[in-house]
Amino acid sequence: MIAARQFEIDAAGKASDLRHRAVIQKNMASYDASVTRGKARFADWSEARSQAAQIKWQTINHLDQYLEEFERNVLANGGHVHWAETSADAQRLVIEIARRHGVRKVVKSKSMVTEEIHLNEALETAGIHPIETDLGEYICQLRHEPPYHIVTPVMHLSKADIAETFHEKFGSPLNATAEELTMVARHQLRQEFQTADMGITGANFLIADTGMIALTTNEGNGRLTAALPRVHVAIAGIEKLIPRLDDLALFWPLLSISGTGQAITAYSTLVGGPRRDGEPDGPHEFHVILLDNGRTRLLADIEQRDALHCIRCGACLNACPVYRTVGGHTYGTTYQGPIGSVITPHLRGAEEWSHLPFASSLCGACTDVCPVRIDLHHHLLHNRRNTTQRRLDSRLQKIGFRLWAWFMRSEKRYRLAGEVLRVATPLARPWTKTRDLPPMPEQSFREWWEQQ
């Protein structure tokens, strides 16, 4: 209930924060224009989505086989595979690997799954210093803020905000341009890349038939993280599998067009193990940690199993009128927006997170943009139903709906309710404080009809 109350407070604050709204609208307008151009590259975008949905359906519904195939091939490539049932298991595995190699400093490429398992806090507690290298994540780390968006971590910050942070930390000018700020980060982080003992990444895809992970970054930090340190650890949810390397000819453009509008991300990288004999560089060890952390619970929910198709492109966040209004931090979750409201109650428990599916207008914009055709808005509805069935909804709401049903069941009572409500509009003050209510017409529809 604490999370629900916090959501209400934060949502109310952000919804009326005009500065926040201006920054988000600017970012979203740029995203929308870019995605429209990106989609025009396809002869048939709708068919591309159907093909992707089919491939993910095939994978998720035979997940055990693909997991085993992936594991077999990673081992054959000289890598190690670990399995983690919970966040704590995954943290422990990473720390064990780090300790074995005497790791003191870690460079990280942007990874939402490491946010999900709160890896940075765990590493710091263990005396290991993690450094985020994606520019957006680096800014988040400097500001001690969680990412605002799964793809664009600092979408909520203006250039001036970021210049201020860099000014405090590095003494760069307050009027620095985006390019100057990026070069400050480049300079700082190049030193970290050269001195880090271990690289940690997520994985955008796990490829079963070649035992590789696919990593996409625009900045090149993913490549450097996998190239320079002695050890590379990749952490991924078990749902990230795709069957074949060739599937990437579809999934790489699909992910980047939905994520940013680019035809393909600047660096679409495949890592298939540690440095091999004859190769000049690369880590000596390569580890993959396969994380469950509630995903098998979602798999067992036959109605919502397709939520595991998600490739974390962020399109549903950007399309969602609620996300655009209340902002990413309000959700209080690793995965925000519609997909977050669908999966979080499964991953983190319905008791604490059952309010999220109600933060939706059910308009279906999320379902329309999903590149793997997840039936998002129906799943939001399913979660609402689950909440009601488990009696997790509030008593006030229940009384409200019972009253509504009672008035609706009799013509007389309905008429009476109408008359009362026409004069009782001041009671709607909490609702109208931030919304417009059109003035009541002098006549009700019934009165008007009777005069005709």
- The yes or no reply on residue 178 touching another protein (CB under 8 A) is yes
**List 2, 144, 171, 279, residue binding another protein (CB under 8 A):** 279
Stretch of residues binding another protein (CB under 8 A), selected from 14-22, 135-143, 335-343, 381-389: 135-143
- The yes or no reply on residue 259 touching another protein (CB under 8 A) is no
- The yes or no reply on residue 382 touching another protein (CB under 8 A) is no
Stretch of residues binding another protein (CB under 8 A), selected from 147-155, 335-343, 350-358, 406-414: 147-155
**List 130, 229, 243, 253, residue binding another protein (CB under 8 A):** 253
**List 142, 218, 230, 388, residue binding another protein (CB under 8 A):** 218
- The yes or no reply on residue 54 touching another protein (CB under 8 A) is yes
**List 2, 18, 171, 280, residue binding another protein (CB under 8 A):** 280
- The yes or no reply on residue 436 touching another protein (CB under 8 A) is no
**List 74, 123, 128, 139, residue binding another protein (CB under 8 A):** 139
Shortest Cβ 205–another protein spacing (Å): 13
**List 281, 411, 436, 442, residue binding another protein (CB under 8 A):** 281
Residue 138, token pair as written in the block: 């680096």
Which of 280, 288, 190 has its CA nearest to residue 240?
288
422: how many CB neighbours lie within 10 A of its CB? Answer: 13
- The yes or no reply on residue 423 touching another protein (CB under 8 A) is no
Map the footprint of another protein across residues 79-108, applying CB under 8 A.
82-85, 89
Q: Residues 283, 232: contact at Cβ < 8 Å? A: yes
Map the footprint of another protein across residues 295-334, applying CB under 8 A.
296, 299-300, 302, 305-306
User: For residue 371, which amino acid is it?
Assistant: P
| Nearest to another protein of 249, 363 (CB atom) | 249
